[in-house]
Amino acid sequence: MQILASVTNTSIVRDPLGYIGPGTMVRIPFLLNEADINCRVVLLTDFPVVKLMVETPDGKVIDPGNAASFGVTFDTATAVRTARFNLPLAFSATKLHAGTWHALLEVDRNLLKRLLSDKDKANQPQFADLLSKGAKYCVSIHSFSNLRMNATISQTGFVPGSTLFLRAALTEYGVPVEHRAAVTAELEYPDKSRTIVTLTEDGPGVFGASVLALQAGIYRFHVLAQGGTFRGVPFTREQLVNAAVWHGDGRPDQPLRGDTDKDDWCQLLTCLLGKKALSHELEERLRKEGIDLDSIRHCISAFCKNRKPTLLG
């Protein structure tokens, strides 16, 4: 989802995950503000038994049945459901824009009953979780916005004992969000322990923190910004960044050089973007987001011309 947000130049407003059981409704609040131009609510599930709805700040519930009257578009794929709408949302004399919106999740009992009767699905590992915990979900809320956060990480080395430097820059209409936000990061260490890192505002709209990496492995930072816009409307932004350290000489792999490396990259890219690797639903979804896979494949084919046979057919 973060790759999709980067490709479409959108910001991640919220990105929670959890489980939902039959007979319950999960209400996930998210903040939109006057700098947001449109919004995309993406629901990912292991099994397509969870319904997605959107609640406006004034309490109106939008679902696939009444979406057209609100100017909202719902898309459904195998395990992905999406609601997309422009801002402000104008369906009558009232224009809905800034405020607290909600993504509403509910298990469709008929779909769940049909799934439970499918013996082929019963062998999947996720099926046990479905029976014991409920349906697993991830909701990713993206906004094409004039209020943006860019989080990056750098490190002094790649061996245990190196220092990781976390940096987050917040801008609104290109102007630094100065003294109007707080930024923290939930850090997951290689041993899966967690802590909260508080970033300090080192410059106008620029927040930083450093962490000593004593363990070998992957350090995962979930960066969260909370603040107010120029008009004082609350906002949130989220982003994931990773760092890695390992035992050894601390040198990352050398840059790829030579025909052999180029062939390896050609094989990897053509395999990942081959039509057999991407489902028809996913291709259509990417095209709706403005990603032209045919043009990307053409560029790769041109780059890999006269190399090993490709898999783009």
Per-residue pLDDT tens over the stretch 33-52: 999 999 999 999 988 889 99
> Could you tell me which of 59, 79, 134 has the C-alpha nearest to residue 279?
79
| pLDDT for residue 251 | 66
What letters, b where the CB count within 10 A reaches 16 and e where it falls short, cover 238-271?
bbebebebeeeeeeeeeeeeeeeeeeeebbebbe
**Cα 117 → chain centroid:** 32
pLDDT range class, residue 82, cuts 50, 70, 90 = very high
Report how far residue 117's alpha carbon sits from residue 71's, in angstroms, rounded to the nearest whole number. Answer: 37
Residues near 187 by beta carbon (within 8 Å), at least 6 away in sequence: 194, 195, 196, 197, 211, 219, 220, 221, 222
Q: Which two tokens stand for residue 61?
A: 């519930």
**CA–CA distance, 135 with 21 (Å, rounded to integer):** 6
Q: pLDDT tens digit string along 186-220?
A: 999 999 999 999 999 999 999 999 999 999 999 99
> Alpha carbon of 256 to those of 252, 261, 297, 304: distances in Å?
12, 6, 21, 15
pLDDT in tens, 221-273: 999 999 999 999 999 999 999 999 998 866 665 554 555 556 777 887 778 77
d(Cα 214, Cα 45) in Å, to the nearest integer? 36
Looking at per-residue pLDDT, the higher value among 20 and 273 belongs to: 20
Report d(CA 245, CA 159) in Å as an integer: 5
Q: Please enumerate in sequence order all residues whose Cβ is within 8 A of that of 198, keeping only pairs 6 or more positions apart, or say none.
A: 183, 184, 209
Contact 14, 125 (CB under 8 A): no
